[in-house]
Amino acid sequence: MNKGIAHLGALAVLLSACSQTQVRDDDSMLSQNLRSTPLEAVEPASDLVSFTSVQTIHIVDVTHPMIPYWAVDALPDTLDIIRAGYQLPDSSQRSIDLQLDWYRKHQAYLDRVFTRSSRYLHHIVSEIASRGMPMEIALLPIVESAYDPFAYSHGRAAGLWQFIPGTGRRFGLKQDWWYDGRRDIIDSTRGALDYLEALAKQFDNDWLLAIAAYNSGEGNVHRAIRRNRKAGKPIDFWSLSRLLPVETRAYVPILLAVSRLIADPEGNGVTIMRIRNEPYFSVVKTHGQLDLALAAGLAGVSVEEIYALNPGFNRWATDPAGPNRLLVPVSAAAAFESNLAALPARKQVQWKRYRIRNGDSLSVIARKFQTTQKLIREVNNLRGSTIRAGKYLMIPKASKSASSYTLSADSRLARTMSRSRGSKRTLYRVQPGDSLWTISRKYGVNTRSLAKWNGMAPRDTLAAGRELVIWGGKSIVLIGSGPPSGHVRRINYTVRKGDSLWKISSRFKVSVNQLKSWNSLSGKRVLRPGQRLVMYIDVTKQSGG
């Protein structure tokens, strides 16, 4: 490539504003021969909406003194801007050729990935250009997540840029019940580019080493450098490669292979879709918590589209603690902003006046209304967790049924767990002290597979009472398990006057310890009439009651 043209094209990138677009399916797993450790725990979103075009938003100042005014028209395709901004050194390494050969044979995969990317690519390119970073970095989410913002790997990495929890927090990515900044398009992109810039400084602006460190951690790269220096050997990526983790040895070649492919699609026998050099979304302030189904209605788009652009929100509404903004397609931005401004703030979420019942607790009420104890306390000015039957609470509630929020964390998990993996399905209720490893040993299944079936990573912790699905494995019934043979059933029991744990356990032929475990009851806790208990009973043993 002509260096002068490349330099001019890189400058032209600065004109690009912000854009993004996404869809999703199994492709975050990449190919089995792209990495020795593929993202096999990533689950498909299955029904993220498709879209027909990439639309516009606000454009960066075209009067930037370093950029010719005609540059925007000269490079109408976002991928042209990426090509023009290449900075990474290419190499004749065989490992790059092997990865490139895989991509050449998988046109359908490329179509899906670039269709996804078109919601997000313009924004990412704009952010990279504003920092003067190599444009190849815009292709890094292809390697990390196949441009799937809901990707979750067996290493607990999430989002387009695959941040693990600790690194996400290190770069200011908020993570709580309502929101995960690792999936947020704006926040995660900012965090990833901050991280990559910091790594480049550590490695004297050797971007291949910075990218390797992004994958494996800077400690691994620094150790490899020290070993080669001590041995009097070069410290470039290719010289260090054999000292790095196996996945990292493939990681950099994959990115360089994708870069080559984009540089010359026709010469590599593939077709890459055009992505207009225009922003896809606008950012609109919401001034407080907003129901996402309501937001979709105000914008005149689908709920799926709202989630696709705002994948950081885990639940049915935005996080009450912020960020108080929503990304919407630029074509819908004006209508959304106008409709939102006309909506009274108190109607941005619906409220229910809830009468506290016997047996209620804040945790029970929070689960029932898909919210948090903290928010209930704040809204109702409660200092602690004590509540009294007969009193009232104001509870924020979703405007539609849970099934309407198709890309919320709960809905995605439900689809993952219901996806058939074979003919034998067991439901298991987690007991205190359980881990994915201990459960996998009991049932004779692979820990990583068990995690994948349940939308988790192998090192994730388990909360007592959580229900897991197990495919295949041993035919056993453990305390708290669901219906492995179709005979065990979950029932909800309302405590009656005079009931005790012993009486209930005798009536339903379960143990007192089982009742305590299923319902997180302490040893001396007294049952109250009206309290609801969960039980898992073998219907073949019941004689009435």
3-state SS class at 327: strand
Residue 103: closest CA among 113, 91, 89 = 113
Q: Look at the block and give the residue holding tokens 């999430």.
A: 158
Give catalytic status of residue 144 as yes or no: yes
Residue 188: closest CA among 157, 161, 212 = 161
Q: Give DSSP secondary structure letters for 318-359.
A: --TTS--EEEEEHHHHHHHHHHHHHS-GGGSSEEEEEE--TT
Query: Counting beta carbons within 10 angstroms of the beta carbon of residue 427, is it exposed (0 to 12), middle (13 to 18) or buried (19 or more)?
Result: middle
Q: Look at the block and give the residue holding tokens 């027909």.
A: 52
Rounded CA-CA distance 394/477 in Å is 41
Cβ(191)–Cβ(168) below 8 Å: yes
Task: At 109, list the tokens.
Answer: 């995969």
In degrees and rounded to multiples of 5, residue 471 shows phi and psi of -105, 130
Query: Counting beta carbons within 10 angstroms of the beta carbon of residue 522, is it exposed (0 to 12), middle (13 to 18) or buried (19 or more)?
Result: exposed
Task: At 137, list the tokens.
Answer: 């970095």
What is the sign, positive or negative, of the torsion defined by CA atoms of 526, 529, 533, 538? positive
Catalytic residue among 43, 127, 136, 144: 144
Q: Give DSSP secondary structure letters for 499-519.
A: --HHHHHHHHT--HHHHHHHH
Rounded CA-CA distance 534/545 in Å is 16
Query: Counting beta carbons within 10 angstroms of the beta carbon of residue 544, is it exposed (0 to 12), middle (13 to 18) or buried (19 or more)?
Result: exposed
Cβ(325)–Cβ(283) below 8 Å: yes
In degrees and rounded to multiples of 5, residue 206 shows phi and psi of -85, 100
Rounded CA-CA distance 32/231 in Å is 35
Cβ(299)–Cβ(330) below 8 Å: no
**Which amino acid is it at 484?**
P
Q: Give DSSP secondary structure letters for 165-186.
A: HHHHHHTT--BSSSBBTTT-HH
Under DSSP, the state recorded for 28 is G
What stretches of 226-364 adopt beta strand conformation (E)? 281-285, 325-329, 350-355
Please give the distance of CA 465 from its chain centroid, rounded to a whole number: 24
CA count, 13 A, side-chain hemisphere, 342: 8
Task: At 105, list the tokens.
Answer: 């044979």
Question: Catalytic residue numbers?
Answer: 144
